[in-house]
Structure 1
Amino acid sequence: MNKYKRLFEPVKIGKCEIKNRFALAPMGPLGLSDNEGGFNQRGIDYYTERAKGGTGLIITGVTFVDNEVEEHGMPNVPCPTHNPVQFVRTGREMTERIHAYNSKVFLQMSGGFGRVTIPTNLGEFPPVAPSPIKHRWLDKTCRELTVDEIKAIVKKFGDGAYNAKRAGFDGVQIHAVHEGYLIDQFAISLFNHRTDEYGGSLENRLRFAKEIVEEIKNRCGEDFPVTLRYSPKSFIKDLRDGALPGEEFKEKGRDLDEGVEAAKLLVAYGYDALDTDVGSYDSWWWSHPPMYQEKGLYRPYAKLMKETVDVPVICAGRMDDPDMALEAIENGTCDMISLGRPLLADPDYVNKLRSNKCKSIRPCISCQEGCMGRVQHYSMLNCAVNPQACKERANALNPIVKKKKVLVVGGGVAGCEAARVLALRGHEAVIFEKSNRLGGNLIPGGAPSFKEDDIALADWYAHTLEELNVKVTLNHKVTKDEILNSNYDSVIIATGSTPKVFPLGDDKKVFTAAEVLLGKKDAGNATVVVGGGLVGCELALDLAKKGKKVTIVEALNKILALNGPLCSANSEMLEKLIPFNGIEVKANSKVKEYKNGLLKMETVNGIEELPCDSVILSVGYKEENSLYKELEFEIPEIYLLGDARKVSNIMYGIWDAFEVANHI
Structure 2
Amino acid sequence: MASFEKLFEPIKIGSVDVKNRIAMAPMGILGLSTERGGFSKRAQDYYVARAKGGTGLIITGVAKIENEIEKFHPGSLLCPTIDPGHFINTAGEMNERIHAYGSKIFLQLGIGFGRVAAPMMLVGQPVAPSAIPNYWTPSVTCRELTTEEVEKLVKMAAESAAIAKMAGFDGVEIHAVHEGYLLDQFTIGMFNRRTDKYGGDLMGRLALPVEVVKAIKKVNGNDFTVGLRFSIKSYIKDWNQGGLDGEDFVEKGRDTQEGLTIAPILEKAGYDAFDADAGSYDAWYWAHPPIYQKHGLYLPLTEQLKKVVNVPLIIAGRMEVPELAEKTLEEGKAADMINLGRGLLADPDWGNKLKEGRPEDVRPCIGCHDGCLGRGFEGKSLSCAVNPACGREEEYGVHPADTVKNVMVIGGGMAGMEAARVSALRGHKVTLYEKTGELGGHVIAGSVDEFKKDNERLLEWYKTQVKKLGVDVKLNTEIKPKDVKKGNADVVLVATGSVPSMPNIPGIDSANVGTATEVLLKKKSVGQKVVVLGGGLVGCETAISLAMDGKDVTIVEMLPELMGAGMPVPHSNKIMVLDMLKFHNIKAVLNTSMQKVKDGAIEVMDRNFKKSTIPADTVVISAGLKSNNALYKDVASTVPDTYVIGDASSARNIMYAIWDAYELARSI
- When normalised by structure 1's length, the TM-score is 0.98
Q: Name the residue aligned to 1:400.
A: 401
Q: SS at 1:308's partner residue?
A: coil
Q: Which runs of 5+ in 2 are unaligned?
A: none
Is 2:652 the partner of 1:648? yes
Contact 1:411 1:438 in 2 (8 A): yes
In 2, distance between residues paired with 1:545 and 1:19? 44
State how 1:19-168 maps to structure 2 within 5 Å.
Answer: 19-122=19-122, 124-138=123-137, 139-168=139-168
Letter paired with 1:108: Q
State how 1:26-425 maps to structure 2 within 5 Å.
Answer: 26-122=26-122, 124-138=123-137, 139-331=139-331, 332-378=333-379, 380-425=381-426
**What is the deviation of 1:604?**
5.7
Contact 1:120 1:377 in 2 (8 A): no
In 2, distance between residues paired with 1:33 and 1:557? 38
After superposition, the Cα gap between the structure-2 partners of 1:635 and 1:604, relative to the gap in structure 1 and judged at 3 Å, is closer
After superposition, the Cα gap between the structure-2 partners of 1:173 and 1:379, relative to the gap in structure 1 and judged at 3 Å, is farther
Contact 2:563 2:569 in 1 (8 A): no
In 2, distance between residues paired with 1:468 and 1:100? 31
State how 1:441-590 maps to structure 2 within 5 Å.
Answer: 441-502=442-503, 503-505=505-507, 507-563=510-566, 565-590=568-593
**What is the deviation of 1:236?**
0.9
In 2, distance between residues paired with 1:624 and 1:186? 54
Range with bigger deviation, 130-139 or 422-431: 422-431
Contact 1:121 1:379 in 2 (8 A): no
State how 1:435-446 maps to structure 2 within 5 Å.
Answer: 435-446=436-447
In 1, distance between residues paired with 2:440 and 2:305? 41
Q: SS at 1:72's partner residue?
A: coil
In 2, distance between residues paired with 1:626 and 1:596? 35
After superposition, the Cα gap between the structure-2 partners of 1:658 and 1:177, relative to the gap in structure 1 and judged at 3 Å, is same
Q: SS at 1:174's partner residue?
A: strand
Runs of 4+ in 1 over 4 A off after TM superposition: none
**What is the deviation of 1:422?**
1.1
Instruction: Give CA deviations for 1:461-495 in whole Å, capped at 9, x if unaligned.
Output: 11001111111111111011111111111111110
In 1, distance between residues paired with 2:188 and 2:378? 27
**What is the deviation of 1:356?**
1.6
Letter paired with 1:542: S
Range with bigger deviation, 601-610 or 20-29: 601-610
Q: Which runs of 5+ in 1 are unaligned?
A: none
**What is the deviation of 1:2?**
4.8
Letter paired with 1:145: L
**What is the deviation of 1:334?**
0.7
In 1, distance between residues paired with 2:447 and 2:625? 17
**What is the deviation of 1:327?**
2.3
**What is the deviation of 1:429?**
1.8
Contact 1:118 1:376 in 2 (8 A): no
Instruction: Give CA deviations for 1:437-472 in whole Å, capped at 9, x if unaligned.
Output: 211111111112101011111111110011111111
Contact 1:534 1:564 in 2 (8 A): no
In 2, distance between residues paired with 1:333 and 1:192? 30
Instruction: Give CA deviations for 1:539-577 in whole Å, capped at 9, x if unaligned.
Output: 000111111111111111121111365321110110111
Q: Which of 633, 637, 648 lines up with 1:633 in the alignment?
A: 637
Q: SS at 2:327's partner residue?
A: helix
Letter paired with 2:217: K
RMSD of equivalent CA atoms: 1.3
Is 2:658 the partner of 1:657? no
Letter paired with 1:488: A
In 2, distance between residues paired with 1:358 and 1:170? 30
**What is the deviation of 1:618?**
0.3
Contact 2:567 2:653 in 1 (8 A): no
**What is the deviation of 1:526?**
2.0
Instruction: Give CA deviations for 1:187-243 in whole Å, capped at 9, x if unaligned.
Output: 111111100000001111111111111111111111111000001211111111111
Percent of matched pairs sharing the same residue: 49
**What is the deviation of 1:400?**
2.1
In 1, distance between residues paired with 2:419 and 2:618? 38
Contact 1:417 1:654 in 2 (8 A): yes
**What is the deviation of 1:303?**
1.1
Q: Name the residue aligned to 2:433.
A: 432
Q: SS at 1:507's partner residue?
A: coil
In 2, distance between residues paired with 1:566 and 1:308? 39
Instruction: Give CA deviations for 1:487-517 in whole Å, capped at 9, x if unaligned.
Output: 1111111100010113542611110111111
In 1, distance between residues paired with 2:258 and 2:245? 20
Instruction: Give CA deviations for 1:88-147 in whole Å, capped at 9, x if unaligned.
Output: 11111111111111111110010110110122212x321000111110011210011111
In 2, distance between residues paired with 1:125 and 1:354? 49
In 1, distance between residues paired with 2:495 and 2:147? 60
Instruction: Give CA deviations for 1:562-615 in whole Å, capped at 9, x if unaligned.
Output: 136532111011011112101111112211222322222223683222222211
**What is the deviation of 1:295?**
1.3
Contact 2:177 2:231 in 1 (8 A): yes
Contact 1:387 1:655 in 2 (8 A): yes
The number of residues matched between the two structures is: 663
Instruction: Give CA deviations for 1:379-404 in whole Å, capped at 9, x if unaligned.
Output: 52110110010010120224422111
Contact 2:400 2:425 in 1 (8 A): no
Contact 2:66 2:81 in 1 (8 A): yes
Q: SS at 1:420's partner residue?
A: helix
Letter paired with 1:181: Y
**What is the deviation of 1:330?**
2.2
**What is the deviation of 1:20?**
1.2
Instruction: Give CA deviations for 1:54-104 in whole Å, capped at 9, x if unaligned.
Output: 111100110111111111122112211111111111111111111111111
Letter paired with 2:580: L
Q: SS at 2:80's partner residue?
A: coil
Q: Name the residue aligned to 2:600.
A: 597
**What is the deviation of 1:412?**
1.0
In 2, distance between residues paired with 1:564 and 1:261? 43
Contact 1:534 1:565 in 2 (8 A): no
Letter paired with 1:507: S
Q: SS at 1:274's partner residue?
A: strand
Contact 2:289 2:572 in 1 (8 A): yes
In 1, distance between residues paired with 2:470 and 2:330? 38
Q: SS at 2:378's partner residue?
A: helix
